[in-house]
């Protein structure tokens, strides 16, 4: 995993530690929305970084540049979009991913993306600190699954 992503995770871990100590439920709820946006950003940045590193190590420079350019604006990565993405590189990646993914992890990914979009567009969301913490832990598990698949 790229150093920048490890640093991002450490920073987010610290933010979650800060949020759990907020006594005011309304303030903690607002902070949880921020954590949702940051968690979504972590996942998107992770995918771009991991695929960029993979392309750099396995492809000629023009091909790697093309792949990174195409993935530059890869956003709103829910379960369906992630499956399509993994399959576009190697169908075995998608199969391995799905064999290790739990329904809870899938739900967390979709929830983070859906709530992030609701937050960004001023629509009602369903984020609480407790469920956001669970979603974040599941996103980290998903990252570890993808990391193990792409490195092999």
Average pLDDT per block of 10 residues along the chain, 152 residues long? 88 95 91 96 93 88 87 88 92 96 97 94 89 97 94 64
User: Is 17 part of a structural domain of the chain?
Assistant: no
Alpha-carbon radius of gyration of the chain = 16
Cα angle for residues 133, 135, 140 (degrees, 5° grid)? 95
Write down the pLDDT at residue 125: 84
Residue 7 forms part of a structural domain: no
Look up residue 98 and give its two tokens.
Answer: 């799905």
**C-alpha separations of 100 from 105, 133, 146 in Å:** 10, 21, 10
40: containing domain: 25-151
Tokens of 142: 């998903």
Question: Could you tell me the two tokens for 137?
Answer: 């832990």
Distance, in Å, from the CA atom of 26 to the CA atom of 32, rounded to the nearest integer, reads: 10
Say how many domains are in the chain: 1
Is 6 within a domain? Answer: no
Q: Is residue 140 part of a domain?
A: yes
pLDDT on residue 152 = 52
At residue 53, the pLDDT reads 87
CA atoms within 13 A on the CB side of 63: 9
The predicted pLDDT at position 124 comes to 86
Q: What pLDDT is attached to residue 74?
A: 84
For the entire predicted model, the pTM comes to 0.91
- Other beta carbons less than 10 A from residue 103's beta carbon: 7
Residue 113 lies in a domain: yes
In a domain, 4, yes or no: no
* Cα-Cα end-to-end distance for the chain: 13
Evaluate whether residue 11 is within a structural domain: no
């Amino acid at each position: 995993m790229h150093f920048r992503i490890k640093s991002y995770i450490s920073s987010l871990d610290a933010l979650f530690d800060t949020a759990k100590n907020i006594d005011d439920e309304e303030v903690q709820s607002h902070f949880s929305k921020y954590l949702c946006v940051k968690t979504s950003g972590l996942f998107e940045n992770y995918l771009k970084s991991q695929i960029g590193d993979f392309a750099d190590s396995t492809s000629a420079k023009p091909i790697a540049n093309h792949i990174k350019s195409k993935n530059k604006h890869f956003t709103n990565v829910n379960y369906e979009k992630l499956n399509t993405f993994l399959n576009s590189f190697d169908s075995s990646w998608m199969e391995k991913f799905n064999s290790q993914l739990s329904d809870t992890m899938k739900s967390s990914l979709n929830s983070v993306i859906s709530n992030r979009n609701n937050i960004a567009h001023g629509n009602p969301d369903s984020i609480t600190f407790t469920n956001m913490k669970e979603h974040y832990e599941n996103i980290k598990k998903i990252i570890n699954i993808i990391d193990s698949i792409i490195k092999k």
